[in-house]
Amino acid sequence: GEPDVAAIVCARGGYGLSRYVHQLDLEPMVAQPRWLVGFSDVTALHVELAARGVASLHAGHVTAMGQGNAVFREQLVAALEDPRATRRYDGLEVLVRGRATGPLYGGNLTLLHACAAAGRLRPPSGAILLVEDVTELPYRIDRVLTTLLVGGHLDAFAAVAVGEFTGCGPTRDGVRVEEVIAERLVPLGIPIVAGLPVGHGRDNEPVVIGAPTTIDGDRLTLFG
C-alpha cells in the first residue's frame, strides 16, 4: 500500500463492482486501513470491508464535488478530518419506537440484496441497518425487502435507519414506497426511523459504516 494515502474516494457509482468485488484482494486495506469513500454501487465494497472489521465512509463520489454543492464538499472534508465526531439526527420519522445500539451497516438496498444473493451479506449481530435507493419502483422495493426477509437476511439487525428513496414512485395506482417499507419492516418489531439525509437526493450526508450508532425514539446518534 501507499503509506501517504489516507483515503480512497470513488469517482462514481452506477454498476460494475458486484461483478468482481469478491475477487479483490482487500488484505492491504485490513493491514493498513484507510477511508474508502463512496455510496450506491460502492455498497458492495462497504459490505466486504465490514466483513473484515474495517470501517468506511458512506458519502458522495468525486463527481458530486464538481456539481456546485459547496455544502457537500464541506461535509466531506469535515468527515475525513474528524470521522469519529459525534453526529446527531433529531426529529426523524418513527415507524417503530424503541432504543437500540450497534454498528452501522448497509447502504444501497438493491446492492445489499445483490450481496445477499451472492452469499456476501454478513452483518455483525446487533447492527443498525441503513438503507437507501434510487429509481426503484415500489413493487421492486417490495420484492427486495420480501426476499431479504424470507431469506433471513434481516434477522441479525437490532434496528433500521431509512435514508432517502429518490425517484422511487409513487406508482400509477398511488402506491408509495414509504408504505411498502413500513408494511415490510414494521412487523420485525425492532426500532425503525426514517428520513435520514443519506442517499441519492440533494442531501447525502457522510456517515461512517461501522460507527457505534444509537437509535432512541426519533433520534439517531453516531459515535455518541
The confidence band for 1, taking pLDDT boundaries of 50, 70 and 90, is: low
Cα gap 16→43, rounded to integer Å: 11
Residue 66: predicted pLDDT? 67
The confidence band for 68, taking pLDDT boundaries of 50, 70 and 90, is: low
What average pLDDT does the structure give for the chain? 94
Domain layout of the chain by residue ranges: 7-222
Classified as helix, coil or strand, 109 is helix
Residue 159: predicted pLDDT? 99
Kindly tell me if the per-residue pLDDT of 176 is higher than 80: yes
Bridge partner residues of 162 (DSSP): 131, 194
Cα gap 217→180, rounded to integer Å: 21
Classified as helix, coil or strand, 70 is helix
Residue 33: predicted pLDDT? 92
- Give percent above pLDDT 90 in the chain: 83
Residues 189-212 pLDDT 10s: 999 999 999 999 888 999 999 999
Q: Name which of 59-68, 85-94, 121-130, 161-170 the model is least confident about.
A: 59-68
The confidence band for 32, taking pLDDT boundaries of 50, 70 and 90, is: very high
Residue 3: predicted pLDDT? 74
Residues 72-88 pLDDT 10s: 888 989 999 999 999 99
Q: What is the set of active-site residues? A: 40, 132, 200
Residue 71: predicted pLDDT? 81
Mean pLDDT to the nearest integer, 37-47: 97
Strands (E) across the chain are located at 7-9, 35-38, 56-58, 87-89, 93-96, 99-108, 128-134, 159-166, 192-194, 207-209, 212-216, 219-222
Cα gap 192→211, rounded to integer Å: 17
Higher pLDDT, 96 or 70: 96
Mean pLDDT to the nearest integer, 165-188: 96
Residues 6+ apart with CB under 8 A from 96: 186, 188, 189, 190, 191, 192
Mean pLDDT to the nearest integer, 47-60: 97
Residue 175: predicted pLDDT? 94
| 16 grid coordinates | 460494475
Candidate CATH numbers 3.50.30.60, 3.40.50.1370, 3.30.950.10, 3.90.1150.10; the one for domain 7-222: 3.50.30.60
Contact predicate 207/87, CB 8 Å: yes
